[in-house]
A = this chain, B = another copy of it.
Amino acid sequence: MLTIKSIRETNPVILNVANMVTPQHVADAINFYGGSPIMFTDEREAAGLTNISSGVVFNMGSTNEATLRNVIASGKVANKRGIPVVIDPVAIGATELRQDNFARAAEAVAFDVIRGNAGEIAYLANVNWQANGIDAGNGDGDVVAIAKKAAHRYHCWVVLSGVKDIVTDGETTYCVDNGHPYFQTNVGSGDMLDGILATAIATEHGLKALVRATATFSIAGELAGEKYPNQPASFFVELYNQLATITDEVIDTRMKIHQV
The residues of A with any CB-CB pair to B shorter than 8 Å are: 13, 18-25, 27-28, 31-32, 36-42, 44-45, 48-49, 52-53, 61-65, 67, 91, 94-98, 132-135, 185-188, 230-234, 237-241, 244-245
A238: chain B residues at CB < 8 Å are: 231, 233-234
The residue in chain B whose Cβ has the minimal distance to the Cβ of A63 is B42
Contacting pair A18 B18 (CB below 8 A):
no
Taking the nearest CB of chain B, how far is it from the CB of A146, in angstroms? 21
CB-CB under 8 A from A61, the residues of chain B are 39
Q: How far is the CA of A133 from the CA of B31 in the complex (A)?
A: 13
Q: Closest Cβ of chain B: how far from A224's Cβ, in Å?
A: 10
Q: How many copies does the complex hold?
A: 3
Residues of B within 8 A of A19 (CB): 39
A sample of 15 inter-chain contacts (CB < 8 A) reads A18-B20, A22-B24, A24-B25, A28-B233, A31-B185, A32-B185, A36-B133, A37-B134, A38-B91, A39-B61, A45-B97, A48-B94, A52-B133, A233-B239, A234-B237
Contact of A64 with B42 at beta-carbon distance under 8 Å, contacts A37-B187, A233-B238 already known? yes
CA distance A135 to B234 in the complex (A): 28
List the B side residues contacting A20 at CB < 8 Å. Answer: 18, 20, 23, 39, 41
Please give me the residue from chain B that is nearest to A28 by CB atom.
B187
* Shortest beta-carbon distance from A251 to chain B in Å: 17
- Find A97's partner among B44, B62, B96, B185 (CB 8 Å cutoff): B44
Q: Who on chain B is nearest to A131 by CB?
A: B52
The distance from the CB of A108 to the nearest CB of chain B, in whole angstroms, is: 18
Residues from chain B with Cβ under 8 Å of A41 in the complex: 20, 62-64, 67
Q: Considering the chains assembled together, what is the distance between the CA atoms of A64 and B185 in angstroms?
A: 31
Asked if residues B36 and A134 are in contact (CB atoms below 8 Å), the reply is yes
Residue on B with the closest CB to A65? B42
Residues of B within 8 A of A32 (CB): 185, 232-233
